[in-house]
Structure 1
Amino acid sequence: MNDSILVVNAGSSSIKFKLYRIDGADLAPLLGGGMSGIGGTPLLTVKDGRGAVLEERRFTPGDVPDASAAQHHLEDWFAHHRGAESIVAVGHRVVHGGPDFAEPVLVDDAVLRRLESFIPLAPLHQLGNLDPIRVLRQRRPDLPQVACFDTAFHRGHPELSDRFALPRFLHDEGVRRYGFHGLSYEYVAGRLRDLAPETAQGRVVVAHLGSGASLCALKGGRSQETTMSFTALDGVPMGTRCGALDPGVVLHLIEHKGMSPAEVGHMLYHESGLLGLSGLSNDVRTLLASDRPEAAMAVAFFCRRVAQAAASLAVTLGGLDAFVFTAGIGENAPEIRQRIVAELGWAGLILSNDANRSGVARLDAAGSRAQIWIIPTDEERMIARHTLRLLGRAAPGATA
C-alpha cells in the first residue's frame, strides 16, 4: 500500500478534498474533488490528479444537511475506492486559531475543545471546519489529524498592526487583529520566493480576491499587516460580506431599526458585499456581463476599495516592490486586475495589457515602478506540507 495524506477544506455549504501520495519528502496529487450544495441539492465530484472526472453523483435534498454528513459520504466513498492508497493522516483547514495556535497542531480532545470556543469569532466558517474532524475522530480514532490555521501566518505582527484602539483589557482577552487567508498567503509567499527570490525579500502586497477577499503586506516573506482582522468580515468588500464598516452602522441597525444581533450578523455576512451593492449577484462574472448600472457600481466599488487597501498596506511597508494577484477573481478576471492597477497608477504601477489578457505569471509593463504578478494559490498543498512535517516525514522548510 502507498502512504497518502488526505486534505479536507470544509465550509458551510461545500467541502473540498485532495489526496496526495507521499513520495519521500514530496507530494504527488492523486485525487481531488468535493461536495457542493450542502444543505440544498449536493453534488459529489471526484477527479484524478490530472483533473479528469472519475465520478459525479448528485444527492437528493436533505441527504447532506451539513458538513458532518458530507464527510460521512466522503468516507464511504474512500472506503470503496481506496485502491492501493493508505491514508496515514488528514490535514484540515481551520479558519481560526485564536490567540493560542501560531502553527499547525495535531488534534486531540483538548485542542478540539479550544477550537470550538473560537466558533463565535468565525461563525461562517469554524463550525464547518470542525465537523469533518469530529466525524473522522469517530470513524477512525487512530488516524492522526492536523489542524492548519488561516490565522497562524499572521501571528507575530508588529504591535501597531495587531491592536484595535479599544481598552487594553480587551486585547488581553483576545480581541485583536488576527487576519485570515494565511494558508494562501504562505503558499504564495513561497512561490514568489521560487519565481523571484530578490523580489520576495522586498515589499510585497498580495491580493487574495475571491468570494472571500483580503490583502496582505509581506516583507521578507512574512506577514506585516492584513485587511481582515478580528473576524473575516473586515477589510475589502466580498461576495456577500460587507468589508470595513463604521461600527456606528451596527449600533444604528440595532438601536433604531430594531434588528437583533443575529439579524445584523446575517445581513453583514450573507446579504452585503457585491450582492448587497448590486442587488443582482455576488459573482463578479455575472456583474461584469450585466448592463445594469448597479452591477457596474458594485464592480467599481470593489476595485476602488482593493486599491485603497493596497495603498494603505504600502504605507505599512514603506513602499512597494511587487503586487500579486491570487485566488478565483485575482487569477481569472483580467478586467478586474486592469481596473485595480489603473487605480494604483499614481504609484507608478503599469500593467501590460497583452500579458494581462494572456494570463502569464508576470504582468508589469516596461517602466512600472513595481512588479505585478499572478500566482495561483494552493491552500490544500500548503496543508499537506504542514501535515507531512508534523508526521516527521519532511524537514522544516522542505517544499513539495
Structure 2
Amino acid sequence: MNILVINSGSSSLKYQLFKMPAKDPICSGLVERIGIEGSFIKHTQFLNGQKKSTEKDSFIANHGDALKQVLRLLSEGEEAVISSPDDISAVGHRVVHGGEHFSGATLITPEVKQQIKKLFSLAPLHNPVNYKCIEVAEETFPNAKQVAVFDTAFHQTIPEEAYRFAIPEWYYKEHSIRVYGFHGTSHKYVSEQAISALNRPEAKLISIHLGNGCSMSAIKGGKSIDTSMGFGPLSGLMMGTRSGDIDPSVIFHLMEHSGYSLEQLSALLNKQSGLLGVGGSSDMRDIGKLVAEGNANAILALKIYAYRVKKFIGAYAAVLNGIDAIIFTAGVGENDQAMRAAICKEMEYLNIHIDEQKNTQYKGSLLDISSEGSAVKILVIPTNEEYEIASQCYGILVD
C-alpha cells in the first residue's frame, strides 16, 4: 500500500512515499522557498539499497505547484516509482492544530475540513497551509484517502489540572484557551521506541525534542500527561528564534513604556529571540563556532538553553513521581553531544549519569548513553514523524 506523507510549512513542503508496512521510504523530498525567489526541490530515491538525489532550481509559486512537481518526480522518467496518481492509496497530512476535536489520526471529510478551518486563528501560520495542501492533494490524488494527523492529538490525554490556565473559566469555554501542546507526533514516536527498547509498557519517560522548535513531554504508560508548549508553540523551552517562557509583565511593560504594538511583540518573541536573540544565531552549529571563539553572548545562550531543559526535567520528575528514561531527539537532541552532556551534568540528585564516551558514539539509531550506575536511562532516539504519520494512516485503512 503506497502512502504519501506531506508535511507542509508556510514556505516549504516535505514529503515521503512509503510502501507500507515497510518502514523505510521509497523516496523523500523537500520543496523550499515556496513563493519566494530561489525556490528549489530536492528529491531522493532509495532503490536496492542505493540512494540517489537530484536537485532542481525553479520558481514554485505556491503549494499547488509544489505538489504538481512532486507528482512529476514520482511518476515520470526511467526511475518513476508510481505509474499514475491512482497508485497512491492514501495521503497523510501533518496538521499542526486539532484543538480539542481530534485525539488521533482522522479520515478527512468535509466536516473535518471545516473543523480545521475553524482552528485557523489558533495556528495562523500553519493550519491554513495544511488546509490548502489537503485541497490540492484531493485534486492531485482524487482516488486516494486523505488522512489528517494532528500535532496536538497526542497531548489530548493531559489531565485538566495540567491543561487549564488559572484564568476565569469563560475564556476556556468561549475562546478555547488552554494548553494544547505540539510536536505530538514526534513525542509519540520516540516514546513508543523507548517503551519497546526498555520492555516496560508503563515506563515514566521525559521526551526532549530539540530542534529549531523545542518542547518536552512527560509521558506515563505511553500517554502524555504534561508538555512544555501550551496554547501556541511559543512557551516553554528556549528555541531557535522563540523566547520560550517569559513573564507576561515584560509584554505589558514594553507596550506601556516603549509603545510596542502587538505585531512588534509577536515578532520579538517569535522571530527575534531564543538562540538568535541571546547568542547571535538561530543555528546551534553557528552558536558552537561563536563559543569556540570565546563569544560571551553565545556562551550565555548555551547556558540558558541547557538550564531551561534541566528545569523541566526536575518539574516532570515530580509530575511523574520518578523517571525511567529521558529521551533526546530531533536535530539538536540527536546531533549535539555537547548539549546533551551539559543538560545531564550535575543531575546526581535524580541519579542521572551520562557516559561521556557513549555520548560521542551516536550514529543515527537508538542508543543508550547512560553510565552503568545511572538509575535513569538516557536514550538518543532519532525521530521519524513521517513514518509515524504513515503508520497511523495505515492503521486507519487496514482496521
Say yes or no: does 1:344 pair with 2:342: no
Residue ranges of structure 1 left out of the alignment (5+ in a row): 396-400
Q: Is the 8 A contact 1:72 1:135 kept in 2?
A: no
Q: CA deviation at 1:51?
A: 7.0
The aligned counterpart of 1:361 is 367
What is the correspondence of 1:285-324 to structure 2 with a 5 Å cutoff? 285-290=285-290, 291=293, 292-324=295-327
Q: CA deviation at 1:271?
A: 1.2
Q: Is the 8 A contact 1:45 1:53 kept in 2?
A: no
Distance, in Å, in 1 between the alignment partners of 2:395 and 2:220 is 25
What is the correspondence of 1:193-272 to structure 2 with a 5 Å cutoff? 193-198=195-200, 200-272=201-273
Distance, in Å, in 1 between the alignment partners of 2:125 and 2:285 is 23
The aligned counterpart of 2:333 is 330
Q: CA deviation at 1:139?
A: 3.3
Change beyond 3 A, Cα 1:109–1:207: same
Distance, in Å, in 1 between the alignment partners of 2:346 and 2:131 is 40
Match of 1:180 among 158, 176, 182: 182
Alignment: residue pair count: 384
Distance, in Å, in 2 between the alignment partners of 1:157 and 1:51 is 43
Identity of aligned residues (%): 34
Please tell me the residue identity of whatever aligns with 1:287.
I
Match of 1:189 among 188, 191, 207: 191
> Helix, strand or coil: the match of 2:2?
strand
RMSD after superposition:
1.8
Q: CA deviation at 1:235?
A: 0.6
TM value normalised by structure 1 = 0.91
The aligned counterpart of 1:147 is 148
Q: CA deviation at 1:88?
A: 1.2
Distance, in Å, in 2 between the alignment partners of 1:253 and 1:112 is 38
TM value normalised by structure 2 = 0.91
Q: Is the 8 A contact 1:187 1:382 kept in 2?
A: yes
Q: Is the 8 A contact 1:351 1:372 kept in 2?
A: yes
Q: CA deviation at 1:35?
A: 1.2
Q: CA deviation at 1:75?
A: 3.0
Please tell me the residue identity of whatever aligns with 1:178.
Y
Q: Is the 8 A contact 1:203 1:322 kept in 2?
A: yes
Q: CA deviation at 1:148?
A: 0.1
Distance, in Å, in 2 between the alignment partners of 1:169 and 1:45 is 48
Say yes or no: does 1:382 pair with 2:388: yes
The farther-off stretch of 99-108 and 376-385 is: 99-108
The farther-off stretch of 36-45 and 212-221 is: 36-45
Distance, in Å, in 2 between the alignment partners of 1:262 and 1:72 is 34
Change beyond 3 A, Cα 1:120–1:375: same
Distance, in Å, in 1 between the alignment partners of 2:172 and 2:163 is 9
Deviations 1:240-281 (A, max 9, x none): 111111122222333332222222212222111111111x21
Distance, in Å, in 2 between the alignment partners of 1:76 and 1:263 is 41
Change beyond 3 A, Cα 1:375–1:80: same
Change beyond 3 A, Cα 1:260–1:115: same
Q: Is the 8 A contact 2:4 2:91 kept in 1?
A: yes
Residue ranges of structure 2 left out of the alignment (5+ in a row): none
Q: Is the 8 A contact 2:157 2:223 kept in 1?
A: no
Distance, in Å, in 2 between the alignment partners of 1:262 and 1:369 is 47
Say yes or no: does 1:46 pair with 2:43: yes
Please tell me the residue identity of whatever aligns with 2:285.
R
